[in-house]
Amino acid sequence: MALFQGPYFYYFTSGFVKLVFLLPFAVTGLLLSIILLFNLITHRSINSSYHIAGLIIAVIIGLYTSVGRGMESIDFNIRLDEREKIVEQIKNRPVKAGNIIDQIFFRLSDGGEVSYTKTPNGAVHVEFYIDRGFLDHYSSFVYTNDPNEIGPDNNVFVNTKKKLKDNWYRMAY
């Protein structure tokens, strides 16, 4: 369960569905871990170090990926090259009125859309959605090469940003 919960809840659910199914899934995983721990303790004579290591690794993976930040970190690092290629495509596009890429990027952005803004002076702001939220919030990986947008004078991003890499941020709105 620990290996499947992170990718399943990160890629295939959002908002209300995640809210409804995460708690029963977590309780089931916790109960199964308790049963396994109980069996490890009561049947010590037939346990090997592999049984104990397996339980410890499963619990660590389960805790790391259930919070969501673990899967975000893994996803950001694994798919960074693909996202940077899209940013380069956007930089090479002419400035126009539309701000949503018309191609579908299922695994790169929640909902498959990548939104961007581009100014005539070359400033680019690209958002790859992490979670579209339930009612009134969302989080995204943001690429921007405009230092004024992320700077301390911009009140929109105060306490909601985390720098991941040069020009790359995790934003929550």
Share of the chain above pLDDT 70, in %: 71
| Choice among 11-15, 102-106, 153-157 with the minimum mean pLDDT | 153-157
- The Cα 30–Cα 34 span in angstroms is 6
Instruction: Name residue 5's amino acid.
Output: Q
pLDDT tens column, 6-60: 666 666 666 677 778 878 887 888 888 888 888 888 887 777 788 788 878 877 8
CB atoms within 10 A of CB 85: 11
CB 26 within 8 A of CB 66: yes
* 167 phi/psi in degrees, rounded to 5: 70, 5
Q: What pLDDT was estimated at residue 162?
A: 78
Structure tokens at 148: 């004024």
Among 137, 157, 105, residue whose Cα is nearest residue 14: 137
The mean predicted confidence, pLDDT, of the chain is 76
Residue 152 and residue 32: Cα distance in Å, rounded?
Answer: 47
Boundaries of every domain in the chain: 2-75, 81-172
> Taking a C-beta distance cutoff of 8 angstroms, is the pair 62, 2 a contact?
yes
- Residue 172 bridge partners (DSSP): 139
State yes or no: pLDDT of 151 exceeds 70: no
pLDDT given for residue 42 in this prediction: 86
- Our separate counts of H helices and E strands in the chain read 6, 5
